[in-house]
């Protein structure tokens, strides 16, 4: 945790990579699970880089996809409950039934800030998603490379993009069916 806090504080400094390259930092996950100093450091980094728009770096921390779904469902249900209470106040005992929809859940996902996914790159030759971005991966190119994460470089990214381009027309066709 100390290392995380140190990294976030380092990124907040004016000479850091975030300010040099106009990178907006965003942290997705249940930040309440982190210790208070780390949460504060993360929030400060988000606040200091909020106005940047050239690149957006989303860091998933204290995150699992199933927790993300439950959290989104929870917020959507609380929102619906508030709406029902307001309408009851206006219209007496009338409580209209308005089901929670997929779009209501999606707007409350931790990753709602990010645009639609195109590629997921999995390193170390593994073939599983490990509870990461499961909701967002319906028609996405899952690229698996045997290269270990610390060894990944520009050319590995190029290969991932080329693989995506090979399947692009098929994946676009599938997305339109949704």
Catalog residues that contact other proteins under the rule CB under 8 A: 32, 64-67, 69-71, 73-74, 76-78, 80-81, 84, 99-102, 104-105, 127-131, 134-135, 137-144, 162-163, 165-167, 170-171, 174, 177-178
Provide the terminal-to-terminal Cα distance of the chain, rounded to the nearest Å. 41
As measured in angstroms, the least distance from the Cβ of 49 to other proteins is 28
As measured in angstroms, the least distance from the Cβ of 115 to other proteins is 18
As measured in angstroms, the least distance from the Cβ of 136 to other proteins is 8
As measured in angstroms, the least distance from the Cβ of 175 to other proteins is 10
Contact 80, 98 (CB under 8 A): yes
Closer to other proteins by Cβ: residue 20 or 32: 32
**DSSP designation for 147:** S
Classify residue 103 as left (phi > 0), alpha (psi -120 to 50) or beta. alpha
Closer to other proteins by Cβ: residue 18 or 105: 105
Closer to other proteins by Cβ: residue 23 or 137: 137
Contact 174, 139 (CB under 8 A): yes
Contact 18, 52 (CB under 8 A): yes
Closer to other proteins by Cβ: residue 17 or 158: 158
- For residue 30, which of 69, 79, 1, 78 has the smallest C-alpha distance? 69
């Amino acid at each position: 945790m100390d290392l995380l806090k140190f990294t976030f504080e380092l990124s907040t400094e004016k000479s850091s990579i975030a300010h040099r390259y106009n990178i907006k930092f965003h942290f997705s996950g249940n930040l309440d699970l982190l210790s208070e100093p780390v949460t504060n450091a993360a929030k400060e980094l988000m606040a200091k880089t909020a106005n940047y728009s050239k690149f957006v770096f989303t860091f998933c921390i204290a995150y699992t996809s199933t927790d993300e779904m439950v959290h989104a469902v929870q917020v959507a249900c609380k929102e619906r409950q508030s709406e029902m209470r307001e309408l009851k106040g206006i219209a007496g005992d009338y409580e209209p039934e308005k089901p929670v929809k997929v779009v209501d859940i999606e707007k409350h996902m931790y990753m709602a800030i990010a645009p639609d996914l195109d590629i997921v790159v999995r390193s170390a030759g593994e073939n599983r998603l490990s509870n990461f971005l499961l909701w967002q991966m319906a028609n996405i190119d899952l690229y698996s490379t045997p290269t270990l994460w610390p060894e990944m470089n520009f050319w590995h990214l190029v290969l991932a993009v080329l693989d995506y381009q090979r399947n692009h027309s098929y994946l676009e066709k599938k997305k339109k069916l949704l």
